[in-house]
Amino acid sequence: MKRLLFLLIIIFFNKNISYASTQNKILVNVGNQIITSYELKNRIMTILVLSNKELNQSNVNSTKKEALSFLINSKLKKNEVLKFNTVPNPGSVENYLNVIASTYNTDIEGLKKIFVSNNISFQLFEDGVKTEYAWQQLIYNFHQDKLKLNETEIDEELNQIITKQKQAEEYNLAEIEVLLENNVNDRKKIEEVKRQINEIGFKDTAIKYSSSLTAMDGGNLGWIASQALSSVILNTVKNMKPGDISKPIFQSETATFIKLLDKRKISFSDINLKKMKDQIISQKRNELLNLFSNSYLSKIKNATLIRYNE
């Protein structure tokens, strides 16, 4: 049955990609990197299988554009990490793969078996993860001086919060981050994401469209203290009810949809203040890193020759 599905997915591609039994075409040149028909097919199948979607012509067609966009961005990032000889932290890669595996109630070896049973290359998936973490390390290397936060100010902020109130609020959130191109396609992309959220749900839309590392986990961000959220995100989610999805929140180079999964009040007597402080620092740094990352990606995309060969 799995082999039949694999043959069907190849047939579905015939309209746009010519396949022979041994053919593997170069579809796009991205600077010094290439995107092949095999990579595109693999990415589409990864998205469909991990989101439990049927392998049919309609789903292939609707997934192809975003899969190709993801691969282009990944190749742009790979060009840069190779140029600066940057490698990912192995522990970060392993932790990420464990998180994805846990979503399917298994471990990394079990996740590999899911890929094998569906005739998908786990190595290509893992290589993409490694590229993303190497890219994050590169952005950190470029901007580490700007990521130093004033911990004294954060301590004072926490003390003021404790003095003024007896409870803190935490939000269980998920996200869909859409990279913008600053052209007429942005509006179409946002409307398409909205439509997909209504048709297939937030989680599967995140897997399909989100540019964030949380994508393959359905956009899951987990529980975040209100103090760790930026003012624009906090002002949005504090007026939402569990299950609500925000309008797109526009920031530099991105539009982000937030889903409130749940929220809760926690007494300060039950809170590990050090953990909250670490969470605030981590969240603020991540916001800055995302800002720098998206800006740099936009810059190199505009400066790189991207040639389509279809």
Confidence of residue 270 (pLDDT cuts 50, 70, 90): low
Q: 217 and 103 in contact (C-beta within 8 Å)?
A: yes
Confidence of residue 3 (pLDDT cuts 50, 70, 90): very low
Residue span(s) of the chain under CATH 3.10.50.40 come to 150-282
pLDDT > 70 in the chain, percent: 89
Per-residue pLDDT at 166: 61
CATH number of this structure's domain 2-143, picked from the four choices 1.10.4030.10, 3.40.640.10, 1.10.3720.10, 3.20.20.140: 1.10.4030.10
Per-residue pLDDT at 162: 73
Task: For 122-177, write each residue's pLDDT tens digit.
Answer: 999 999 999 999 999 999 999 999 888 888 888 887 787 777 666 678 999 999 99
- pLDDT > 60? residue 208: yes
Confidence of residue 252 (pLDDT cuts 50, 70, 90): confident
- pLDDT > 70? residue 224: yes
On the CB side of 52, CA atoms within 13 Å amount to 8
Mode of pairing for the β-strands spanning 254-267 and 167-179: antiparallel
Residue span(s) of the chain under CATH 1.10.4030.10 come to 2-143
Place of tokens 């990032």: 77
Per-residue pLDDT at 16: 45
Report the C-alpha gap between 153 and 64 in whole angstroms: 47
- pLDDT > 90? residue 100: yes
**Whole-prediction pTM value?**
0.84
Per-residue pLDDT at 310: 65
The CATH architecture annotation of domain 150-282 reads Roll (3.10)
Mean pLDDT of 216-236: 90
Per-residue pLDDT at 17: 42
pLDDT > 90 in the chain, percent: 64
Per-residue pLDDT at 110: 96
Q: Cβ of 124: how many Cβ atoms within 10 Å?
A: 15
- pLDDT > 60? residue 15: no
Per-residue pLDDT at 80: 97
Among the listed ranges 60-74, 147-161, 189-203, which one has the minimum average pLDDT value? 147-161
- pLDDT > 70? residue 1: no
Mean pLDDT of 11-21: 43
- pLDDT > 60? residue 22: no
- pLDDT > 50? residue 268: yes
